[in-house]
Amino acid sequence: VSSISCSARAPAIALVDCNNFYVSCERVFNPALAGRPVVVLSNNDGCVVARSNEAKALGIAMGSPFFACRDLLRRNNGRACSSNYSLYGDMSFRVMQTLQQFAGEVEIYSIDEAFLRCPRPRDAGLTAWGQAIRRTVAQHTGIPGTIGIAATKTLAKIAARIAKRDPARGGVFDCTGHPDIDRLLAGIDVAEVWGIGHRHARKLNGCGIDTACQLKYADDGFIRKHCTIAGLRTVLELRGESCLPLEQAPPPRQAIGSSRSFGRPVRSLAALREAVSEYVSRAAEKLRRQQATAGSLVVYVMTSLHSPHAPRYANALTCRLPVRTAYTPELIRQAHAGLERLYRPGYCYKKAGILLTDIGPDARRQLPVFADGAYTGAQQRLMGAVDRINARYGSNTVQCASSGTAKTWSMQRRYMSRCFTTRWSDIPVARA
C-alpha cells in the first residue's frame, strides 16, 4: 500500500452526470421528443448509442442495430436521431462552463460527466449546493443532471447511481456523513463499481465477491494480486480514502486521429484521396488549436471486415514528415503520398483514417534552412485565417480543393438535427 498516496481529509467530491445526454441535447431543440422513446444512432445510422428512459423501458439495448428496433420504435411513437456531435460537443462545453462557477476545481471526465471539489458544507449542507447546480445547469442549457456527493470519486459515482435509481432523492444524493454506507454499498453490484471492468468483476464473482460492500472489505493482498494496484485503489476509495486526485488539466494529446466509415463502399483512389484530405484537415485544425505541430503521420485504409464474400484488405503506413508542421496542404500532400502506396484497386473500402503523431509544441520545431515544406510564418498566418473563418461561418466554409465538393463517400445521417448552437444558419428562430 506504500506506493499509493491517499488523502483522507480533503473536502468531498461531487460527480455531475448529465441524464441521457445525447437524447437530452436533441430534446432541448425539439420539445416534441419529450416523454417519447428516443434513440441516438452511431455513425452511418448503424447502432443505438444513446437511449431515453422511455426507450430503455421498451427493452432497446445499448449497441443494438437500428434495423432491429426500428419497428418497435415506430409502434411506440418513438424517434431515432442521427448523432450530431457538433451539437453535443457544444452543449457539453456550455454545461462545463456553468459548472466552473460552482467549484474552483473541476475535472471534465467525459462529454457528459465532471467531478467537482465541493465547498466546505455550510448550514444548508451539500444537498442544497447540488440542487443549485442542477437548477443552474438546467436554466443555462436545458440539460437535466444527477449529482452524487461523497468522500471519494469512486463513492461519488455510486452516490450518483443511487440518485438516478431513486427519483425521490430529487437528483442529488449526498452520502457524506451517511450513517450506513455499507448498506448502500450492499445494493451495488461489483460490476457497477467504477474502475472494475467486466473481466475483474467475473473473477471477483468467482471468489464470492458480488457487491461493492463485499469488495470494500476484501483482503488487500488478494485484491492487489487479482486486480492489480488499480483495483486496490478502488477498494481504498470505497473505504473513503481518496486515492484518485482531481485531474484538472489533461496532458496535451500525443496523437490526433480522424477517421470515418464511409456512407457507402468506396472503390476509387480519387474518392479515397478526397476523404483522406478531409480527415487531415479536421485533425490539423485540432493540432493548431493546441498550438502544436506534428512530426509524423499515419494513414490507413480498410475494407469491411464483416462481409464474408468480398475480398478483405487493411493496411497502414507511417510517414515521417521532413519538417514538423501544422500546415494542412503539406500534411495532405504527405498523406496522399502514403495513400497512393497503400491503395490496391479492386477492393470495396469501408473506412479510411489518418493519425497525426509525434506531437509537440510549436516552439520545439527546428527549421532546417533549406528544407522543403518548412512551416513558415506565412503558412501559419494563412492557417490562422482559415481557422478563424471556419470557426465563425461553420466548418468547411474554406477548405482545400482536394477534399472535394460532392463528397459522395461521406457518412449517412438521415435523421440528423441541425447544428442549433454552432452554425449561424441553424440558429432557432422564435416566433411572435
- Residues in contact with Mg ion by the rule CB under 5 A: 17-18, 112
- Closest CB 99 distance from Mg ion, rounded Å: 14
CA angle (120, 122, 127) in 5-degree steps: 90
Closest distance of CB 212 from Mg ion, Å:
20
Closest contact distance (angstroms) between CB of 214 and Mg ion is: 27
> Closest separation between CB of residue 83 and Mg ion, Å?
15
Query: Looking at this protein, which amino acid is placed at residue 427?
Result: I
Write out the three cell numbers for 198.
467486466
Distance, CA of 198 to CA of 205 (rounded, Å)? 10
Residue number, 17 or 107, with CB nearest to Mg ion: 17
Dmax over CA atoms of the chain, in Å, equals 72
Determine contact, residues 45/413, Cβ cutoff 8 Å. Answer: yes
Half-sphere CA count of 118, side-chain side, radius 13 A: 30
CB of residue 34 vs Mg ion: minimum separation in angstroms? 18
Nearer to Mg ion, 161 or 273 (CB): 161
Q: Which secondary-structure segment (H or E) carries 56?
A: helix 53-57
Closer residue to Mg ion (CB): 94 or 260? 94
Distances (CA, A) of 335 to 29, 64, 131, 281: 39, 35, 50, 11
Of 21 and 349, the one with the shorter C-beta distance to Mg ion is 21
- Listing DSSP states for 81-147 in one string gives EE--HHHHHHHHHHHHHHHHTT-S-EEEEETTEEEEEPPPP-TTHHHHHHHHHHHHHHHHH---EEE
| For Mg ion, the closer CB: 18 or 114 | 18
| Nearer residue to Mg ion within complex by CB, 17 or 174 | 17
- Specify which residues 106 forms β-bridges with: 116
Q: How far apart are CA 399 and CA 386, in angstroms?
A: 8
Which residue, 112 or 274, is less far from Mg ion as judged by CB?
A: 112
Instruction: Compare residues 134 and 233 and give the one whose CB is closer to Mg ion.
Output: 134
Nearer to Mg ion, 23 or 215 (CB): 23
Burial class from Cβ neighbours inside 10 Å (0-12, 13-18, 19+) for residue 129 reads: buried
Q: How far apart are the first and last CA of the chain?
A: 65
Query: And the C-alpha cell for 343?
Result: 491503395
Nearest CA to 260 out of 302, 197, 316, 207 is that of 302
Shortest gap between Cβ of 91 and Mg ion (angstroms)? 12
Cβ of residue 171: shortest distance to Mg ion, in angstroms? Answer: 12
At 108, the amino acid letter reads I
- DSSP element (H, E) containing 380: helix 377-393
Cβ 285 to Mg ion shortest distance, Å: 27
**Nearer of residues 18 and 302 to Mg ion, judged by Cβ:** 18
* Shortest Å distance, C-beta 187 to Mg ion: 20
Task: Find the shortest distance in angstroms from Cβ 137 to Mg ion.
Answer: 13
3-state secondary structure of 148: strand
